[in-house]
Copies of this chain bind each other. A is one copy, B any other.
Amino acid sequence: MSSTKTEVEQANAAYAASFDKGDLALPPARGFLILTCMDARLDPAKYAGLSEGDAHVVRNAGGRATDDAIRSLVISHKLLGTREWFVIHHTDCGMLFFDDATMGDLLAGSLETAELSESGFRNASEPGGSPEGRYVKWHTIRDQEAAVIEDVMRIRAHPLVNPAIPIYGYVYDVRTGQLNEVVRATEAGRPTG
């Protein structure tokens, strides 16, 4: 068996052995949601002070306001009662270091992990790639603060989003652990700087 799998299962057994959260309700107790990046350095429960049961956490590559993220946000408010949403990107995000053309080329060459050199990502070998990567929008980022603002605006403008929900925008600094606010969304209007 994979050592990673064994480690995860052993860590879970230790967690379950002292588990005392079995009576938590389904709706988030503190009524909010965080949309953030999948980046390994980010622990939203730690950086935002969450305990089990407190808040919904949606994560994807970049913390982007994709259609699928908005699917989750709408379910969160409409069925489970969250009333405030936080969009939290971060410094040194992997989404800053490539674009759709690069990713399409890399995947067309090989499905293996690319190497990162000073000149950017490149394939070490070229066996068995796929052109499908050219048909995917990867939602890369050129300017981190601008991306947060655009994502807040995209959520704000969505026809299924209740205009009464405040949406806050932050960039988390992976060097300091700090959340730095970049956009303060008014309830129904556009974000204000």
Interface, chain A (partner B; CB < 8 A): 2, 4-5, 7-16, 19, 21-22, 24, 26-33, 38-43, 45-61, 66-69, 71-72, 74-81, 83-84, 86, 92, 94-95, 97-98, 103, 106-107, 111-114, 116, 121, 130, 132-133, 136-139, 159-163, 166, 168, 174-179
B94 touches A8 (CB 8 A): no
Measured between C-beta atoms, what is the minimum distance from A100 to chain B in Å? 11
B12 touches A113 (CB 8 A): no
A42 touches B52 (CB 8 A): yes
A7, A107, A113: residue with the most chain B Cβ atoms closer than 10 Å: A113
B130 touches A49 (CB 8 A): no
B15 touches A177 (CB 8 A): yes
Measured between C-beta atoms, what is the minimum distance from A22 to chain B in Å? 4
Complex-state Cα separation, A181 to B8, whole angstroms: 12
Task: Write the chain B residue with the least CB distance to A18.
Answer: B177
Measured between C-beta atoms, what is the minimum distance from A69 to chain B in Å? 7
A111 touches B22 (CB 8 A): no
A138 touches B12 (CB 8 A): no
A16 touches B178 (CB 8 A): yes
Contacting residue for A39 out of B12, B56, B113, CB 8 A: B56
Complex-state Cα separation, A50 to B7, whole angstroms: 10
B81 touches A113 (CB 8 A): yes
* List of B residues within 8 angstroms of A2 by Cβ: 84, 166
Contacting residue for A69 out of B19, B26, B68, CB 8 A: B68
